[in-house]
Chain A
Amino acid sequence: MSESDIMSEQPDSRGHFGEFGGRYVAETLMPVLIELEAAYKEAVKDPDFMSEFSRLLRDYVGRPSPLYLAERLTAACGGADIYLKREDLNHTGAHKVNNTVGQALLARRMGKNRLMAETGAGQHGVATATAAALFGMECVVYMGEEDIERQAPNVKRMELLGAEVVPVSSGTRTLKDAMGEALRAWVATVDDTFYVIGSVAGPHPYPAMVRDFQRVIGDEARGQVLAMAERLPDMVIACVGGGSNAAGIFCAFIEDADVKLVGVEAAGLGIETGKHSASIGSGRQGILHGTKTYLLQDEHGQVLNAHSIAAGLDYPGVGPQHSAWAESGRVKYVSITDEEALAAFHKLTRLEGIIPALESSHALAETAKQAKAMGKGRILVVNLSGRGDKDVDAILRKDEG
């Protein structure tokens, strides 16, 4: 695969983005993934499927989400004009629902009546449970025991929506092991169950499919900024855990060579402490959960535990297309610590009256740095991928502690 293929965003026929991606799964799942890929390709060519997806994004999710010129934040940062892409205003409070509505529609089309998902912070679990309720489907969500304790309100929301939340007690008891357990459960239930992966991670076709379902973020933002500022932005910034909100906004700007793209990983307590989630920044190539990508691992190829204050970034891998973008240099990846993200959380809350998710606060922290460096007259778009209601308890505990 050449660089121009990476730039055109589509993986090769076996799901490789350059040397990343692919399908590293047990043979039992291979036929299922091939069937899913075929069904997906067929669905996106079907005008009825696409118009139903658009209708739900508009009338149910509440799209388009606004692009908002944050004047007080801009003034405080003292540089580029900062525009916020308001994914926090979506139904269920984050970008995750764009993807779960798309995958649930596909599940229905494939005749599968049971959805399965993994979740870390619970946002993707809630978004999947929401789509399951909307379509009258069964829903099972795998969630690490530690995350169940940390994110109790989201567990309750999923249960209210009719989902069964299965606690995962293996390994780190967080997102990584929830995904492992979901893959195990899927192997045993492939006949009737559709696995809704929440990020641009996992085996092909998930990285490409999830990105396509999230692409609406970037397509809208590009049109909106052209309408409002009458030109393209100088920079687009988004946080990267698995990387679905970033892939969704970046891919609409990939071919605009003058638009700089910046992905923000979680530096946790600091890269030097080893307690972080910066897979691109300090990992190396490896194979986990069905894909080849940058991975936090020890010298023997055993996967390391990730850390971030933001449960949604707390994952030792990253979507394979991000690895390819990092390799080609089209997207620059940086990292932001827990502390910097917390400061950005408070800053946006006080200056704009918008409480951002801790995940999105990583992108906001980098935005403040970049806006100042870029100077006045420049334009910066940041993806405000989710709202921070889910984080309020944790922030309170932190402030008290």
Chain B
Amino acid sequence: MNRIDAKFSELREAGRKGLVGYLTAGDPDIAASEKSIIAAVKNGVDVLELGMPFSDPTADGPTIQAAGKRALDAGMTVTKLLAMAGRIRHVSDVPIVLFGYANPFFSYGYERCCRDAAEAGVDGMLIVDLPFEEADELRCHLDKHDLYYVPLIAPTTGSERIGKVLEGARGFVYYIMVTGVTGAREQMATGLEDRVKTLKGLTDLPLAVGFGVSNGEQARLAAKKADAVVVGSALVKAAQAGTLESLVSELRSALDE
């Protein structure tokens, strides 16, 4: 069984909300980032989005842009990302989703990437700039290794399109709550509950909501109707400030309230 499925059914049985955490691999260097990631996982991150940095992160706000730059300056590559995933797998059963932009993976070769990812103990991939129309050339290789392609749904995605995005989707669905780039926001999205309800009517897959969640209170609100909440930029910032463990604990206890 794919670890993503196992984790969500475990959460469902326990009646708990999931915490999906994003961190940029290699920020500020490989050793330090690996340490942060393992600490985050041990403190309550249920699904790890392991971020591959890219030179041109067009969907990211300043926090993740800066983290990506630090990681690239430290020499992060897909090869090193896969090796890191393998080491994380040695110490944890956390589901690992590789997260990033298409080009570094395309350059590495989709077929080779999926084979090596499966070997390293990765469970899925989420590629920001690979909508379903362009995803087949990656998905055919993911499928071979029982790796999941995690679909994204945006506030602009209409219901007819949602159906197509969800075709053959596995693992969980990531709903982006706001139109914009990644990053912490003071104001939370409005109309979220209706949207989540609509989505719930269209799929049985667990639903994770994200974009702009930065503290426990926001996480609790966002997770109300969803199965999990995604936190990215706030974790990246906390890792930089040395407060990652306390933020993860805060998020965890807010979700468990």
A residues with a Cβ closer than 8 A to B are 14, 22-32, 170-171, 176-177, 180, 183-184, 187-188, 190-191, 285-290, 295, 297, 299-303
Contact = CB atoms under 8 A, between A and B. Distances in A.
A117 B157 CA distance: 24
Contact of B78 (A25, A28, A301): A301
Contacts of A14: 133-134
18 contacts: A23-B133, A24-B130, A24-B131, A26-B59, A26-B129, A26-B131, A27-B176, A28-B155, A28-B156, A28-B180, A30-B157, A171-B56, A180-B56, A187-B181, A287-B101, A287-B103, A288-B103, A300-B79
Given A32-B156, A286-B107, A287-B129, A190 B55 contact: no
B133 A301 contact: no
Interface string B114-157: 00000000000000111101100000000000000000111111
B65 interface: yes
B102 interface: yes
B136 to A, nearest CB: 11
Nearest to B107: A301
Contact of A24 (B77, B104, B134): B134
A22 B154 contact: no
Given A184-B181, A187-B181, A286-B106, A27 B58 contact: no
A-B complex: 8 closest residue pairs judged by Cβ atoms: A301-B107, A301-B104, A28-B154, A188-B180, A302-B55, A27-B152, A26-B59, A183-B58
A270 B180 CA distance: 40
Contact of B157 (A23, A27, A301): A27
A25 B180 contact: no
A215 to B, nearest CB: 26
The prevalent SS among residues of A at the interface is: mixed
Q: Chain B contact residues: over half helix, strand or loop, or mixed?
A: loop
Interface bracket on B: 35 or more
Nearest to A22: B134
A295 B103 CA distance: 10
B105 interface: yes
Interface string B143-174: 00000000011111110010001000000000
B153 A27 contact: yes
Interface in B172-216: 176, 179-181
Contact of B104 (A27, A188, A302): A302
B131 A190 contact: no
A27 B32 CA distance: 32
A290 B58 CA distance: 10
Contacts of B156: 27-32, 190
